[in-house]
Amino acid sequence: LDVTSSQLLVTDRDFRDPSFGHQLRETVVSLLDLKVIPVFNENDAISTRRAPYEDSSGIFWDNDSLATLLAKELDADLLIMLSDVEGLYSGPPSDPQSKIIHTYINEKHGKLINFGEKSRVGRGGMQAKVAAAVTAASKGVPAVIASGFVTDSIIKIMRGEKIGTLFHNEANVWDCSKEVTTREMAVAAKDCSRHLQNLSSEERKKILLDIAGALDANVDLIISENEADLAAAQDSGYEKSLVARMTLKAGKITSLAESIRAIADMEDPISHTLKKTEVAKDLVFEKMYCPLGVLLIIFESRPDALVQDCSSSNPKWKWPSSERRKRSYEIKHNIT
């Protein structure tokens, strides 16, 4: 593969030597400057262990705990440990009910996870990796456990993609998103739709104006995130036409905000009576506008469609005529 590497063998005694850390850092930096990849392993020839695969005494016992020691000594920015599964699961990875844990919180997951048998080809297993990752995180080195079989997994992790399981010493204070099922999302949307219908016209108008204001206030941030999406799409080989439709410019964001304000200024159609018919004494039929309910909208490669659809799905539902004709065409096109 035209990659130059150098094997460095270490023992427990090395890490007990106060001067070893400085020598280690100097050696690794020198090798990397020469574009040589250092590969560390235990020096089994002079190991003090009574039985290599049974005696777990000492400062480190397997490659995972050794990696944690090295990461700390080298003041690494990140420790990546590769496994034969995508990351840490809530149960056996083969169990359909098991879910991958994207962010490990020791207080939450530490006592809930049951580990299977240790690796058949080494000293450790997932339990050893988790223990090493927790130790690294506690010492200020974030760690990720991910699959070594996924193409470009290390590159994807370095890009910040949601790959594997992350261990971080501040994970317990993060507001991590809860994994929800499709049904849970649909039920939540239905509950919110009922709440939205019960709001006053002025309250619904304020929601729309808040959305428009948020767009204006976050133009630079939206464009920055959009540029990152565009770069990822180009790297993934998306068609140029798809990438072009994904592009957001400041003018388009401003136009979206103005269109939402135009919707907010329209007459609220909710509970607007169109027709009354008295069919008998004390029996009157009324024909009035009412919300459709929850809509599932599928659109392709157009981030502005999200804003248009969520604001036009509000009971103040119509876009200005020119924009409405455009959206009508897009809806037919996407359905087709």
CA–CA gap between residue 53 and residue 50 (Å, rounded): 9
Percent of the chain with pLDDT over 90: 27
User: Which residues pair with residue 165 across a beta bridge?
Assistant: 145
pLDDT tens, position by position, 154-210: 998 988 888 899 999 888 777 555 667 788 888 888 888 888 888 888 998 999 999
CATH architecture of residue range(s) 77-178? 3-Layer(aba) Sandwich (3.40)
Give 238's contacts (C-beta < 8 A, 6+ positions apart).
none
Distance, CA of 252 to CA of 243 (rounded, Å): 16
H-type alpha helices, the chain: 12-16, 20-33, 63-73, 106-109, 126-138, 153-158, 182-198, 201-217, 219-235, 240-246, 250-264, 303-312, 321-335
> Tell me, what amino acid is at 245?
R
- What count of Cα atoms within 13 Å lies in the side-chain half-sphere of residue 81? 32
Q: Provide the pLDDT for residue 46.
A: 64
Neighbours of 167 (CB within 10 A): 27
Provide the residue count of the chain.
336
Domain residue ranges in the chain: 1-59, 77-178, 182-312
pLDDT tens readout for residues 65-115: 889 989 998 989 999 999 988 998 887 888 777 888 888 987 777 766 666
User: What would the DSSP string read from start to end of 64-98?
Assistant: HHHHHHHHHHTT-S-EEEEESSSS-BSS-TTSTT-
Q: According to CATH, what is the number of the domain 182-312?
A: 3.40.605.10
pLDDT at 212: 92
Cα 168 to chain centroid, rounded: 15
**pLDDT score recorded for residue 100:** 86
Please say whether the beta carbons of 146 and 86 come within 8 A. yes
pLDDT, position 334: 39
